[in-house]
Amino acid sequence: MYAYDELDRTLLHERVEEFRDQVKRRLSGELTEDEFKILRLQNGVYLQLHAYMFRVAIPYGTLSSKQLRALAHVARRYDRGYGHFTTRQNIQFNWIKLAELPDALADLAEVGIHAMQTSGNNMRNVTSDQWAGVAPGEVEDPRIWSELLRQHTTLHPEFSFLPRKFKIAITASEHDRAAIKIHDIGLRLHKNADGETGFEVLVGGGLGRTPFIAKTIKPFVHGRDILSYVEAILRVYNQYGRRDNIYKARIKILVHELGIEKFGKEVEEEWQQLRDSALTLDDAAIEEVRSRFSYPAYEKLPHMPDELKQAAHDPVFERWRKNSVFPHKVQGYSIVTLSLKPVGGPPGDATAEQMDVIADLADRYSFGEIRVGHEQNLALPHVAKRDLPALWKALDKAGLATPNVNLVSDIIACPGLDYCSLANARSIPIAQELTRRFANHDTAGLIGRLHINISGCINACGHHHVGHIGILGVEKNGEEFYQITIGGRADESAALGTLIGPSVPYAEVADVVEDIVEAYLALRDSPDELFIDTVKRLGVEPFRERVYATR
C-alpha cells in the first residue's frame, strides 16, 4: 500500500471544497452548464442516459480494505448499491445525484480516494499491472513509477488542457497485464546491459474509431529521466496535437501522421531541453516514494501446506484453484483473482455487500489489500496457501468464486446502451447471454484461454479491437447490429482483431460466438493450442466460412 502524506490529504480536501462550491454555484444558476461541464469532468462526473455517472480513480489498481469499504459506503448511501469496475482501474457509480456528489467525494477523501482527472482532456489515472509487487520475475514494483508520474501530472497546469485525454500504463513483467500497447504512452520497466533500471517507452497506442498498437519510441530511458522524457512527449503532443477535430486529437493520430521517426526526433529535441532540469529524479526522490509503499510481513511458509493437500480432494475447490489462483513471488503465498463475471451477471459489477465481504476477506487473508485489474476483476495479492480453502468457501458464499478467469465467460464489456449516452447498442445483455451459453465451467476449461471483449460503440471502452473475439455494437436503421472481429490481443503481443464479415443482429450474436468457438475446437492442432494461436495459424477464413455458411 502507498501511504499518502499531509500534502496529498490537504490537496484532496481542498479539491472537495472547491468542487462543493462549484456544484453550489451550478445549482443556483450562477454557473451555466457550459461553464460547469469542464469542472465536473475534471472531477469524474459525466452525464449518462439516466443520471450522472461518477468515476473514481484507483491509482495503479491498489486498494486498501478501508478504501474498498468506503466505495461500498458510496454505493450504498449515494447510489443504488453497486459499482462498476472499468477497464482502466476505475470504479463507476451510475446513479449519483449532483447535489450529493460533494459529500460522496468528501467521504472518499477521508480514505485517500478521489476522482481527479478521471475524465476530461488531461492525464488520466496512471494504471499498472494488478499483480505489481507480487508477480514472480518482476523487474521491480512498477507502482513506484506510477506514483511518481501520478504526483507529477496531477493538476499539472501544462497538462490540464491537452488536445484530448491522455493515458499511461506501466508494466514490469514479461507478460503484460496492463495492456500498455493500447495506451497513449506505454512503459515497460526493464534493466539494460549495465543492470540499470529504465523503461522501454512506447507511444501512440489506443483504440476507439482509429485503433493503433503503440510503437517503441525509445528502447531505454533511465528511470531518473522518465519524468522529463514523458514531459517531452506531452509537450510535443500539446504543441502539434489537433484541437480542431475531436476524432483526430489523440496522440496516436499525431504519431501516425508524423511517423514514429519524425515524432521521436521532435521528442528528442524537446527532451534535450529538459533532461538535466529539475525533472531529473535523484535517488532520494525515488526512495522517498518507494519508502511510502508498505509491504506485508510475510511468514516463512511451506510451498504445499497440509490444508491445501486436503482440500485438493474436492474437485470443485480444485477447479477454482487451478483457474483463479496464481503464483506469488514469496513461497507459501498466492495471488487470487476474484471473478466479477458470474453467470448471467453484468461484467465488472460488484454490490456494496460484495465489496464489504471482499474487504473483510482482504483483512483476514491478504494483509488488507485488494487489487483491481483492467479485465474488470479484483485480486487478493497476498494469500497464504494454507488459507486458500477457507477463502474459497467465503468467496463462493458471496458469489465471487466463479472459476472462469481468462476463460470464455470472463468477458470484458462496457456499460453499453443500458447506461451510456454515447452507445449505439447494448453490451451487457450480450455478455450475459454468452455467460449462460458457456455456463458449464468444465466445457469452458476445455476451450481454454479465450477473451471476449464487447463495446457498445466505436469509442471502444470494452476494448473490442483487442479481444480474441471482439464484438462491436453498431446501429443499422434503428436496430442493434454487431460486428465481430477475431485475433485481437492486449498483451505483450498486442494485435488488432480482423473483421470476419457483415454485422449480425442482436439475436444472433451468441450463436455466432458459439459457431466461432466450435470452429476453433475442430481446427485446433491440440488441446494446448489456444484460440488466439489457432487464429494466427489459420487466419480468419475458416472462421468466416463457418459463421456465414448458413447465414
Binding site for other proteins (CB under 8 A): 26-29, 32-33, 47-52, 80-82, 95-99, 345-346, 349-354, 417-419, 421-426, 428-429, 432, 457, 475, 478, 480
Burial pattern 158-177, b for ≥16 Cβ within 10 A else e, equals ebbebbbbbbbbbbbbeebb
Q: Which residues contact 413 (CB under 8 A, 6 or more apart)?
A: 346, 347, 348, 376, 427, 428, 430, 431, 453, 454, 455, 462
**Closer Cβ to other proteins, 26 or 385, answer by number:** 26
Q: CA-CA distances (angstroms) from residue 217 to 93, 251, 433?
A: 37, 13, 42
**Closer Cβ to other proteins, 97 or 243, answer by number:** 97
- Tell me if 66 sits within 8 A of 111, measured CB to CB: yes
Q: How far is the CB of 395 from other proteins (least distance, A)?
A: 15
**Closer Cβ to other proteins, 80 or 329, answer by number:** 80
Q: How far is the CB of 91 from other proteins (least distance, A)?
A: 13
Instruction: Give the helix ranges, DSSP H, for 219-305.
Output: 226-240, 251-258, 260-274, 283-291
**Closer Cβ to other proteins, 400 or 532, answer by number:** 400
Q: CA-CA distances (angstroms) from residue 117 to 120, 124, 255, 265, 341?
A: 7, 5, 24, 29, 28
**Closer Cβ to other proteins, 26 or 374, answer by number:** 26
**Closer Cβ to other proteins, 25 or 329, answer by number:** 25
Q: How far is the CB of 340 from other proteins (least distance, A)?
A: 10
- Tell me if 212 sits within 8 A of 256, measured CB to CB: yes
**Owner of C-alpha cell 447494448:** 426
Nearest Cα residue to 130 out of 181, 100, 87? 87
- Tell me if 181 sits within 8 A of 213, measured CB to CB: yes
Burial label for 239, CB within 10 Å (0-12, 13-18, 19+), is: exposed
Q: How far is the CB of 357 from other proteins (least distance, A)?
A: 10
**Closer Cβ to other proteins, 49 or 495, answer by number:** 49
Q: What DSSP character marks residue 206?
A: B
Q: How far is the CB of 400 from other proteins (least distance, A)?
A: 12
Q: Which residues contact 546 (CB under 8 A, 6 or more apart)?
A: 515, 516, 518, 519
**Closer Cβ to other proteins, 96 or 454, answer by number:** 96
CA angle 528, 327, 92 (to 5 degrees): 95
Nearest Cα residue to 263 out of 148, 199, 150, 185? 185
